[in-house]
Amino acid sequence: MPSASALRLQIESALAHKIPSALTPTARLIRPVAATGIVALDAALEGGLPIGAISELCGPECSGRTGVALSFLAHQTQDKFCAWIDTGNALDPLSAAAAGVSLSRMLWVRCGAENPQPRPSNHFALPKQCFTPPEIIRGLHGGGHGNHPRQEVKGLAEGVSGLFAPRCAEPQPPNRPTCKAFEPGPKPEQPAPQRRPARRKSSSPWTPLEQALRACDLLLQAGGFSAIVLDMGSVAPEHVSRIPLATWFRYRAAAERAQACILLLTQTSCAKSSAELLLRFQPATSITAEPTVFTGLQVSVEVARRRFASAERNVTPFRKPPQSARPTRRTTNWTSRAAWAGEP
């Protein structure tokens, strides 16, 4: 006599095409996706990056994660608005425009960028007396009456005292030493007040990182952005891993409410279970047509985790299917060619 689980499996298989959820609960809704513009990556992700969720793009520098983010924004900025939160001030607007991103539809938030201080002006300017004509003296030289010519020479010694030695024809008053007043007793010397050392500017990476997290909070609360890229690729992994998990959970709920895509560009995974998609990039390999001509990069990415994958069948069993301890991860490769290399 077959067991209950075998009978249930037979009934489900027989009614799968007519009544998909005859004995099973309703399957979870698969999130819509947005294309990244890279054919190989879209095929591996079955359409693109999920909408209304967090996607992590982890990998070392020069691994291709920024190129994927720019390609994704190039498709999103055609009819929508996006934001790029730059923690390390490393985004090049010219490269973004060359990748097809519409800069008029992208908000660039630069965290940690210092405002340039105004430089001191070294411009030499002549005094106003040099541009105004002197007053006409009506005296002995101009006809009529006026002061005596000797009075006109007064003050000449003080005017030229900085140009010549202190010797002058006019007699100098003698420098007599001033007598100090007698004090009955020496006053006790009081110690000089100790001044606190000047507070140096903090060089900790937490300052721009906190600005980036606050900016992401404000953008999610304001709404209107279809994609928000939080670029933390220049921040050390030990600082990124100290961000509380409650922050990523809050971002996940806000992204689902606003139907916005959040892309995290980091060196290591930090969002944990709050991220729906995790892509691990391997160090890219350079491609050269000649020993001295750089033509592109060979990018390799691995789909490390997908929270909600599309089901192969329309029947969802009650029990979780057995999984291997070492699941086989799919690796996708594509070639990113330089602009001067042309089409392959």
CA distance 78 to 220: 21
Position 47 pLDDT exceeds 70: yes
Q: How much is the average pLDDT of 52-59?
A: 94
Would you state the structure tokens that stand for residue 192, as one six-digit string?
């000089």
Position 77 pLDDT exceeds 70: yes
Identify the band that residue 85 occupies on the pLDDT scale cut at 50, 70 and 90. very high
Position 274 pLDDT exceeds 80: yes
Would you state the structure tokens that stand for residue 278, as one six-digit string?
């995790």
Residue/partner pairs of 8-11 with CB below 8 Å, 24 or more apart = none
Q: How much is the average pLDDT of 266-274?
A: 92
**Tokens 């001030």 sit on residue:** 89
Question: Each residue of 224-260: pLDDT tens digit?
Answer: 999 999 999 989 999 999 999 999 999 999 999 999 9
Q: What is the structure's pLDDT at 171?
A: 59
Position 296 pLDDT exceeds 60: yes
The CATH code that applies to domain 31-111+204-316+324-341 is 3.40.50.300
Q: What is the structure's pLDDT at 289?
A: 78
Q: Average per-residue pLDDT in the chain?
A: 77
Question: Each residue of 6-22: pLDDT tens digit?
Answer: 877 787 778 777 766 55
Lowest mean pLDDT among 135-144, 150-159, 197-206, 213-222: 135-144
* CA 251 distance to own-chain centroid: 17
Lowest mean pLDDT among 44-48, 99-103, 152-156: 152-156
Q: Are 107 and 81 in contact (CB under 8 A)?
A: yes
Would you state the structure tokens that stand for residue 339, as one six-digit string?
């602009």
Which residues have C-beta within 8 Å of that of residue 295, sequence separation ≥ 6? 287, 288, 289, 337, 338, 340, 341
Q: What is the structure's pLDDT at 251?
A: 96
Q: What is the structure's pLDDT at 62?
A: 86
Helices (H) and strands (E) in the chain, counts: 9, 11
Q: How much is the average pLDDT of 27-49?
A: 84
- CA separation, residue 221 to residues 68, 86, 115, 213 (Å): 26, 19, 27, 12
Of residues 206 and 168, more confidence is placed in 206
Q: Are 47 and 344 in contact (CB under 8 A)?
A: no
Position 79 pLDDT exceeds 80: yes
Q: Are 325 and 300 in contact (CB under 8 A)?
A: no
Rg (CA), the chain: 38
246: nearest Cα among 223, 288, 217, 226:
217
Question: Each residue of 94-144: pLDDT tens digit?
Answer: 989 998 999 999 999 998 766 545 555 556 566 666 666 666 655 555 454
Which residues have C-beta within 8 Å of that of residue 279, sequence separation ≥ 6? 55, 56, 57, 58, 65, 68, 301, 302, 303, 304
Q: What is the structure's pLDDT at 291?
A: 76
> Which of the residue ranges 8-17, 163-172, 277-286 has the most confident prediction, judged by mean pLDDT?
277-286
Whether the model clears a pTM of 0.75, i.e. scores above it, the answer is no
Of residues 275 and 319, more confidence is placed in 275
Q: How much is the average pLDDT of 296-314?
A: 75
> Which of the residue ranges 5-9, 113-117, 175-179, 319-323 has the most confident prediction, judged by mean pLDDT?
5-9
Of residues 341 and 323, more confidence is placed in 341
Q: What is the structure's pLDDT at 203?
A: 55
